[in-house]
DNA sequence: CGTCGTCGATGAAACGGTTCATAGCATGAA
DNA sequence: TTCATGCTATGAACCGTTTCATCGACGACG
């Protein structure tokens, strides 16, 4: 095992030399073993073993052109929602013997662009991305250059791009309806910037539902924009809500991490949930039901979302398909109180 | 924008032809712009823009040999502990303009091997890995072939490999001491298989602490091996604990996800926490303090862990360094009760 | 006995970049 | 005027594979 470290990685021609065959034959052993006679094959394999030869992926890809890797860009790897989606992607890709390169854009369009470029340079088969911008022109361009592109967690605004999404308007509307039924007439919404489509959609869904229920959104809805869609954002946003003159009786959060921060802040401020402030989350992550006050949340089919996205990416017909799943409101004590 | 999709990606020679220069010049524009006169540079850049030229990473890498990408393999991307570590890695890598390929082995040595191979084939600079096996010979081999290797969340058993870890024995021991001080004399430990080093270490730490405190580990400790280190594992393990004849009064969990499953199961079974069963987690993930019963847990410096690992990977001297952080027990109500 | 087909192995031409020795060409000094 | 110098641009070699046309050997067959 502790042979002296070779200065240079063994190449296929080193193997060929050692096995006394041509490089073409070594390549055949690697890729079409049946085209090679058993004795030669044996000899080549022995040489490969001897030199600890590992084929150079770049060279292979350069020549062969194809690669069984896909890329995914999510907004934040440390958000369980996205990692559950990633899990769905991985599971589907593995069936096809593909591998996944995962990256997070941090909601930063430049980071997104950088990873897209990296992926393209490395010739991935395709890319699944939760865009950090409303605009997807750059993704259409990418597709124009031959990459598979699947929009993740966001319906495609154009009919040239596949997408796998959950109906965010419906999810937000369901939450709004629930709150209004409970008697809330003034609702805070801790939301991210509308440049992120999910945020814009959830805002619209909330708005529409309120109108439908006969409320004036301008009065009933206070939307607070938070800089980061995590617990810290939830904390800052909640502090703002608590400082409002005409304090809302319910807070809806753009995701469960944000809700976590909200609950923490409310507890620190001594505001009881839900009697002092009802709270609704979004995503229904694993811990939502186990919190001090179990969290009412909008459940999304995360694993399926990823699975289907990978499915589309691998589709041999390269069809453009836009899939929309329906979310489901899971009611718990953060809105209904004990019982 | 909707130009007809080119059948083939533009190459550097297409650019050269259009700009009426040689390929070498185009390459220079890309890599050493100062070596090229402004007017030529301008012309080349215009051509690049025109053709939407994206350099082929494989070709570049094949020739140049180097690449600014690193790989990381963790046990489970959907475990917040690992994603927090990944975040730390990403943040450090970004400073150096490196990119990260993240993958999860699912605690499966074969998957780990497959990703390692993929990474090596693609010539990553190095790899940070939470090994799924106690054995690291394959990683030494990898290092022998010139890849940087950093063991993540696990001290290196050999002095040829760098590692960044947290003292798992100390963490588990602190938890054990805490429980014994509270009067517990019989403790269940929901742990993963000892083939995972962290699991073995935490078991040993627990064991040693009990001995030190004058208890007989054979009586005081019931270790239950769970198949998956997540909430489902915690649920199954807790069901076993509850079925024990001489039921322990405290359960220690190998991580917070497991503890989440344990708490859920205890609640379903009507067992009060901590009076009926104290629970300790490990990792102190974001939601630990916000649970129905806030969870006592062993906090690890996740972000630092990742940051330092990336640091070692990037170290220009390629020194072999073994870093160990100290964990910290965070006491909450799941062991001490209200107050 | 010559011809043909098959099978295995060969060697060279790509793939798309980087790098480097070299050459062309002003410019300024001698 | 000559020559050294510096600046640009060139083109070919090379990186490590895959692929494909070709070739030799050998057995079957007419």
Q: A8 in helix, strand or coil?
A: coil
8 Å CB contact of A141 and B83: no
Closest residue (Cα, C1') to D12: B24
Element (H, E) at B41: helix B38-51
Q: Answer whether B329's CB lies under 8 Å from B171's CB.
A: yes
pLDDT at position B5 = 41
Distance from CA of B84 to the nearest CA of A (A): 6
In chain A, residues with a C-beta closer than 8 Å to the C-beta of B263 are: 290
Q: Average pLDDT for residues A100-118, to the nearest whole number?
A: 89
Element (H, E) at B86: helix B80-95
pLDDT at position A319 = 93
Report which of B231, B287, B289 is spatially closest to residue B264, judged by C-alpha positions.
B231
8 Å CB contact of B77 and A86: yes
Structure confidence by residue, pLDDT tens digits, A27-72:
999 999 999 999 999 999 999 999 999 999 889 989 987 778 899 9
Distance of CA A181 to the CA centre of its chain: 32
pLDDT at A339 over 70: no
> B297 Cβ partners below 8 Å, 6+ apart?
B256, B259, B280, B281, B282, B283, B284, B285, B288, B329, B330, B332
Domain A12-63 = CATH 1.10.260.40? yes
Q: Answer whether B32's CB lies under 8 Å from B61's CB.
A: no
pLDDT at B260 over 50: yes
Residue B135, both tokens: 């054995």
How far is the CA of A75 from the CAs of A111, A112, A134, A197, B182, in angstroms? 10, 9, 13, 12, 43
- The domain A67-166+303-325 is classified under which CATH number: 3.60.60.10, 3.40.50.150, 3.40.50.2300, 3.90.190.20? 3.40.50.2300
Query: Which of the residue ranges A207-216, A324-333, B119-128, B276-285 would you say has the lowest mean pLDDT?
Result: B119-128
Tell me if chain B has a CB within 8 Å of the CB of A231: yes
Name the residue in chain B with its Cα closest to that of A1.
Answer: B141
Distance B161 CA to D16 C1' (A): 29
Q: How far apart are CA B281 and CA B334, in angstroms?
A: 9
CATH topology of domain B68-166+303-326: Rossmann fold (3.40.50)
> B52 Cβ partners below 8 Å, 6+ apart?
A141, A145, B10
In chain A, residues with a C-beta closer than 8 Å to the C-beta of B102 are: 77, 101-103
Tell me if chain A has a CB within 8 Å of the CB of B57: yes
Report which of A263, A217, A219 is spatially closest to residue A242, judged by C-alpha positions.
A263
Structure confidence by residue, pLDDT tens digits, B58-79:
899 889 877 788 999 999 888 8
Structure confidence by residue, pLDDT tens digits, A139-164:
998 988 888 999 999 999 999 999 99
- The structural domains of chain A, with segments of one domain joined by +, span 12-63, 67-166+303-325, 168-301+329-336
pLDDT at position B1 = 39
Classify domain A168-301+329-336 by CATH architecture.
3-Layer(aba) Sandwich (3.40)
The CA angle A240-A244-A245, to the nearest 5 degrees, is 165
Name the residue in chain A with its Cα closest to that of B77.
Answer: A83
Could you identify the residue written with the tokens 């609640």?
A: B267
Chain A contacts in chain B segment 116-135 (CB below 8 A)? 117-118, 120-123
The CA angle B317-B319-B325, to the nearest 5 degrees, is 130
Report which of A300, A304, A297 is spatially closest to residue A252, judged by C-alpha positions.
A297
pLDDT at A229 over 60: yes
Distance A64 CA to D12 C1' (A): 24
Structure confidence by residue, pLDDT tens digits, A298-312:
999 999 999 999 999
pLDDT at B302 over 60: yes
Among A80, A84, A121, select the one facing B57 at the smallest CB separation. Answer: A121
Buried (b) or exposed (e) across A118-132, using 16+ Cβ within 10 A? Answer: bbbbbbbbbbbbbbb
> A214 Cβ partners below 8 Å, 6+ apart?
none
Evaluate whether A12-63 and A168-301+329-336 have a shared fold: no
pLDDT at position B3 = 37
Distance from CA of A153 to the nearest CA of B (A): 17
Ordered alpha helix ranges (H), A100-229: 109-121, 137-144, 168-181, 197-212, 217-220
The CA angle B150-A84-A312, to the nearest 5 degrees, is 105
Tell me if chain B has a CB within 8 Å of the CB of A174: no
| Confidence band of A316 (pLDDT split at 50, 70, 90) | confident
Q: Answer whether A43's CB lies under 8 Å from A20's CB.
A: yes
Distance A64 CA to D19 C1' (A): 9
Please report, rounded to a whole number, the percentage of residues in chain B having pLDDT higher than 90: 78
DSSP bridge partners of A126: A70, A148
**How many other C-beta atoms can be found within 10 angstroms of the C-beta atom of residue A249?**
17
Structure confidence by residue, pLDDT tens digits, A276-297:
999 999 999 999 998 989 999 9
Among B103, B123, B264, select the one facing A58 at the smallest CB separation. Answer: B123
pLDDT at A2 over 70: no
Name the residue in chain A with its Cα closest to that of B85.
Answer: A78
Structure confidence by residue, pLDDT tens digits, B108-153:
999 899 889 888 888 888 999 999 999 999 999 899 888 899 999 9
Q: Answer whether B142's CB lies under 8 Å from B120's CB.
A: yes
Residue B148, both tokens: 């940087």
Distance from CA of B100 to the nearest CA of A (A): 7
Q: How far apart are CA B265 and CA B239, in angstroms?
A: 7
Distance B22 CA to C22 C1' (A): 15
Evaluate the omega torsion of the peptide bond into residue A274 and state whether it is cis, within 30 degrees of 0.
yes
- The domain B168-300+329-336 is classified under which CATH number: 3.40.50.150, 3.40.50.2300, 3.30.300.130, 3.40.50.2000? 3.40.50.2300
Handedness of CA A83, A84, A88, A94 (dihedral sign): positive
Among B77, B86, B287, select the one facing A87 at the smallest CB separation. Answer: B77
Distance B230 CA to D21 C1' (A): 57
Structure confidence by residue, pLDDT tens digits, A243-252:
999 999 999 9
Structure confidence by residue, pLDDT tens digits, B29-38:
999 999 999 9
pLDDT at position B59 = 92
Q: What beta strand segments (E) does chain B contain?
A: 69-74, 99-104, 126-129, 148-152, 162-166, 187-191, 221-225, 250-253, 278-283, 296-299, 322-325, 328-330
Tell me if chain B has a CB within 8 Å of the CB of A263: yes
pLDDT at position B299 = 97
pLDDT at position A185 = 95
């Amino acid at each position: 095992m502790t042979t002296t470290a070779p200065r240079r990685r063994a190449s296929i021609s080193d193997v060929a030399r050692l096995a006394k065959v041509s490089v073409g034959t070594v390549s055949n052993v690697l890729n079409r073993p049946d085209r090679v006679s058993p004795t030669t094959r044996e000899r080549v394999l022995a040489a490969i073993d001897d030199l600890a030869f590992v084929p150079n992926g770049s060279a292979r890809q350069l020549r062969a052109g194809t690669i069984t890797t896909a890329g995914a860009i999510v907004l934040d790897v440390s958000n369980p929602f996205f990692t559950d989606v990633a899990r769905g992607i991985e599971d589907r890709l593995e069936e096809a013997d593909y591998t996944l390169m995962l990256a997070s854009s941090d909601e930063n369009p430049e980071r997104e662009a950088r990873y897209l470029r990296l992926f393209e340079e490395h010739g991935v088969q395709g890319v699944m991305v939760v865009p950090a911008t409303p605009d997807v022109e750059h993704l259409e361009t990418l597709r124009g250059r031959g990459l598979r592109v699947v929009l993740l967690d966001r319906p495609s605004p154009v009919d040239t791009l596949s997408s796998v999404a959950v109906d965010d308007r419906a999810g937000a509307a369901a939450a709004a309806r629930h709150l209004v039924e409970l008697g809330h007439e003034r609702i805070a919404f801790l939301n991210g910037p509308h440049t992120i489509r999910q945020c814009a959609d959830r805002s619209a869904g909330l708005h529409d539902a309120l109108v439908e229920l006969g409320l004036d959104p301008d009065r009933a809805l206070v939307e607070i924009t938070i800089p980061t869609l995590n617990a810290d954002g939830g904390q800052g946003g909640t502090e703002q809500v608590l400082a409002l003159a005409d304090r809302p009786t319910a807070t809806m959060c753009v995701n469960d991490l944000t809700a976590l921060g909200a609950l923490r802040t409310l507890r620190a401020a001594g505001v009881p949930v839900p009697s002092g402030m009802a709270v609704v989350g979004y995503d229904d992550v694993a811990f939502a039901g186990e919190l001090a006050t179990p969290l009412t949340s909008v459940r999304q089919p995360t694993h399926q979302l990823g699975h289907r996205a990978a499915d589309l990416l691998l589709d041999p017909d390269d069809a453009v398909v836009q899939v929309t799943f329906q979310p489901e409101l899971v009611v718990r004590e953060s809105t209904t109180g004990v019982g």
